[in-house]
Amino acid sequence: MLTKKARVTKLEGNKDESFYEKRTSRNSCFLGVDEQQQKASQKKLSESVVAVAGAGGLGSYLAVQLARVGVRHIKIADPDHFEETNINRQNGAGIKTIGHNKAITVGKMIYEDMPDVTVEIFPEGIQRHTAEEFVEGADLIYDCTDFYLVDERYALHRAYLNNSRAKTMLCGCVWGWGSAIYKFTRDGMTYEELIGLKEGEDLTPEKIDKLVRMQANYLPRFPSKDSIYGWMEDVGNIPILGAIPPICCGLLTSEGVKVLCGLDEEPYSKPLPPIPEYYWMDAQELSSGIYTFDGNWINLNNFEKHFRK
């Protein structure tokens, strides 16, 4: 039986060390306690391979930002094409790119701006026959796929668990005015255990509600939860405020840099705990903290608290 191979386009980066040193020079001060560690950290970034699954609201910014901070080998996967509704939040989305594949568009953006970066583009996205090759050789994996693509995410997470090289898998989610980032480790809770859905299961309204609560369980002050869910039912998608994805990507990029440089544990940083815990930053509440995905809303009556006194 023949195994279907992933379709991959590879843009090979050059070895212009002078250009690389100049374009990353502003990083150095914050990559270590002294000059020796700072240089070593930048070298680690330069030699890292990072796989970004999804080139939408999160992955499109994240892949570019990772390249800007100094990662010189990026893998990016997405089968979707840009449309008008993406323009409010997705890097690369615009009138000229409507109908273009997201991974190809973002990959070319990176390569054109930073030709010293090798970019591998997987325009078929994450599927059973692409997941293993996508994570192969990666030091860090990001899951930025759409939250409702359960089977595709199962394939990605299983490939991660079978990959001995990747240090961890980082994920992000935006909801209302806030951003969540969280991580999966090989010895911790799996994605399947987190959401508790069977592969191939139809997503009923009840199961979609569970998916939301297990990936974004902090409600905004307004509108009400019923209004948000009514919008989702009418439109058939998730509402996303265009200002929030770049915030989430900043958090994800920062965490990834720490992981790749070995700066993600004490005494260098306060560690991000593995799933089911996550870090939440909220632009509406001007607050942040560590919370837990436990199937319950953290602040179920937030709307009523502020608007129905």
Domain spans in the chain, listed from the N-terminal domain onward: 9-307
What confidence tens digit (pLDDT) does each residue in 171-187 have? 999 999 999 999 999 99
What's the pTM? 0.96
Q: Identify the CATH class of 9-307.
A: alpha beta
**What pLDDT is stored for residue 308 in this prediction?**
83
Report the pLDDT value the prediction gives residue 35, as an integer from 0 to 100.
98
Distance CA 176, CA 229 (A): 12
Q: Which pLDDT value is given to residue 181?
A: 98
Helix axes 59-69, 245-261, angle to 10 degrees: 40
CB 289: neighbour CB atoms within 10 A? Answer: 12
Phi, psi at 81, each rounded to 5°? -120, 145
pLDDT value at position 3? 63
Task: Report DSSP letters for 68-83, one per residue.
Answer: HHT--EEEEE---B--
The pLDDT score that the predictor gives to residue 200 is 86
Low pLDDT (below 50) residues in the chain: 1-2
> Tell me, what DSSP letter sits at residue 101?
B
What is the helix, strand, coil percentage profile of the chain, to 5?
Answer: 40, 15, 45
pLDDT of residue 1: 43
- CB contact at 8 A, 228 and 221: no
Separation CA 210–CA 189 (nearest Å): 17
Which position has the token pair 């195994």? 3
